[in-house]
């Protein structure tokens, strides 16, 4: 059966939430998903969407998805497309769905004039690393990602200006 990729629709939100939960389990963070279906509705389909998703189906069966947003490179003076999540169900891996999702997003990036298409991968996820490198992606090992969340984020936001 052919693989089809199309923009997600509001009725896809429960499946997107389920895929995100499955991905979190795969990434060894089963309790990390705090987002609700309502959060995905608001972010993807609200008044001013800032994130976007595509669904991957085999026939009528959802087998994966990708969620992305746009960032910006001051050096290039152009937006980039940042892939937040890509997931294909285990029983459908090896059929070309992951590659089809990446190709679809690459086409969006090119059509939108993006200068980059970027994502992160966990350092232990060798199958994903091998997959990405097989398509010509290069690791950005000179950059170290940083993150502020929870109390640290609130403390910085609430700190008096100097």
Residue 52 has pLDDT above 90, yes or no: yes
List, by residue number, the catalytic residues.
Answer: 132
Rounded mean pLDDT, 148-161: 93
What is the distance between the alpha carbons of residues 117 and 18, in angstroms, rounded to a whole number? 25
Given a contact cutoff of 8 angstroms between Cβ atoms, the answer to whether 101 and 56 are in contact is yes
Given a contact cutoff of 8 angstroms between Cβ atoms, the answer to whether 113 and 78 are in contact is yes
pLDDT for the residue 134: 93
What is the distance between the alpha carbons of residues 73 and 87, in angstroms, rounded to a whole number? 26
DSSP 47-91: SS---EEEEEEETTEEEEEEEEEEEEETTTTEEEEEEEEEEE-GG
Q: What is the pLDDT of residues 56-69, one digit of tens each?
A: 999 999 999 999 99
pLDDT for the residue 137: 94
- The lowest-confidence range among 80-94, 96-110, 134-148 is 134-148
β-pairing, 78-88 vs 61-73, is antiparallel
pLDDT for the residue 128: 92
What is the distance between the alpha carbons of residues 5 and 11, in angstroms, rounded to a whole number? 15
Domain 3-158 sits in CATH at: 3.40.630.30
**Two tokens at 50?**
């800032």
Q: How confident is the model at residue 1 (pLDDT cuts 50, 70, 90)?
A: confident
Identify the CA nearest to 131 among candidates 106, 157, 96, 107: 96
Q: Which residues pair with 53 in a beta bridge?
A: 67
Rounded mean pLDDT, 100-128: 95
Residue 33 has pLDDT above 90, yes or no: yes
In the chain, domain spans: 3-158
């Amino acid at each position: 059966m052919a693989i089809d990729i199309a923009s997600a629709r509001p009725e896809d939100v429960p499946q997107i939430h389920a895929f995100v939960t499955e991905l979190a389990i795969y990434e060894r963070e089963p309790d990390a998903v705090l987002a609700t279906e309502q959060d995905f509705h608001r972010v993807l389909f609200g008044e001013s969407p800032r994130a976007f998703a595509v669904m991957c189906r085999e026939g009528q069966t959802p087998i994966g998805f990708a969620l992305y947003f746009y960032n910006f490179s001051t050096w290039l003076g152009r937006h980039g497309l940042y892939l937040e999540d890509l997931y294909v169900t285990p029983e459908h891996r090896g059929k070309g769905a992951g590659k089809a999702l990446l190709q679809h997003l690459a086409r969006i990036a090119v059509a939108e004039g993006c200068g980059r298409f970027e994502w992160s991968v966990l350092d232990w996820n060798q199958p994903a690393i091998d997959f990405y490198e097989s398509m010509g992606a290069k690791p950005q090992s000179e950059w170290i990602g940083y993150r502020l969340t929870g109390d640290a984020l609130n403390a910085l936001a609430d700190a008096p200006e100097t």
